Amino acid sequence: MTLHNLDTPGDALRDAVNLADIEALGRAALDRNALEYYASGANDEHTLRENRAAFTRARLRPRILVDVSAVDTRTSALGLPLSSPIGIAPSAFHGLAHPDAERATARAAHARDSVMTLSTFSNTPIETVGADAQGRFWFQLYLLRDRAHSRAMLDRARAAGARALVFTVDAPYLGRREVNERHRFALPTHLGAPNVASRDALAQVETDSGSQLANYFRDLADKTFTWHDLAWLREQTPLPIILKGILTAEDAVLAAEHGCHVWVSNHGGRQLDTAISSFEALPEIVDAVAGRSEIYLDGGVTRGTDVLKAVALGARAVFLGRAALWGLAAAGQHGVERTLTLLEDEFRLAMALCGAAQIEDLTPALVRL
């Protein structure tokens, strides 16, 4: 079963000075099944590691003798005011980390003036999360073969207050996460995926030959969807559409031409191993989009300097996947809030030390690749 040693903020959480400290707390609070699901990447995990390494290689070119007595980290994403360009990426099964599951994450996003992206594979119904997020959530869609079911989810998300649709485009099949296959990952019996299946339906998925999720997803997702089908998706919802999983200039151009926003992502290194890191892909995508769409990024963000580098190179905001889950596992809503607070404080300091008093001061000239 999943462990929860830090349900309320205590000395350990208060003493955490960076996201690595919170990760250690979160990892210690999880059983093997949950930890391996959250931490795993595809195959040899080269892309998983490269997401972090790419940020480390980039160097900053700080400016001096600038008035940074007041540093303003505020920005917006699709018109939603944010306290900083830091949001929460979609990830499945928050209930593996904490009993409050996605509700805790949504409350943290609201408390910190951030935005949460709710996964299709949440352990909590869309409507419940929407009530806790109070308008600070986007909905992530895996398009199902049953398009009527997909359309119903979109309707529910809009009615619950979602402000955008994040359409994941890099997962017609799930990448092979070998540790999940080896140890036969499965949801505990008390958890379900209410947006896509009944608990009984999930319980009946075969796990003798590998991951329950991979076996279930194999026949669930629509593998025929192409650029030509985006018109159908647009007809189903008036919400802004963000395509998540873009790693090339060619696809970024097509996204902009189809009226979509761009989320640069390799799925946290969980899909195609040896794919380019999100951060390395960012510059060519920004150049290709040329301001026609907003651009977001996830993958490897653990420091305020990572946020600064991504924003300076053209990302509107960055999103946390595993980092938010470690906070959730460590201390529920308070752990996620602490994660967002620490990263925002680091980002503010990095801005000041680079001579940037506001987001508009972050330009490509600050970063040497």
Q: Which residues are designated catalytic?
A: 267
165: three-class secondary structure by DSSP: strand
Of 25, 200, 181, residue with least CA distance to 98: 25
268 and 297 Cβ atoms separated by less than 8 Å: no
How many C-beta neighbours within 10 Å does residue 173 have? 11
Which neighbouring-strand residues pair with 242? 166, 261
Distance (Å) of CA 308 to CA 270, 276, 314, 329: 25, 20, 10, 26
CB atoms within 10 A of CB 148: 7
> For residue 354, how far is the Cα from the chain centroid?
27
Helix (H, G, I), strand (E, B) or coil at 138: strand
- Compute the distance between CA of residue 258 and CA of residue 238 in angstroms, rounded to an integer: 14
CA nearest 27: which of 336, 268, 330, 299? 330
* 294 DSSP 8-state letter: -
Q: At what angle do helices 322-353 and 101-111 cross, to 10 degrees?
A: 20
Q: CA dist 193 to 32, 143, 189, Å? A: 20, 15, 11
DSSP track, 216-283: HHTTTB-S---GGGHHHHHHH--S-EEEEEE-SHHHHHHHHHTT-EEEE--GGGTSSTTPPPHHHHHH
Residue type at 161 in one-letter notation: G
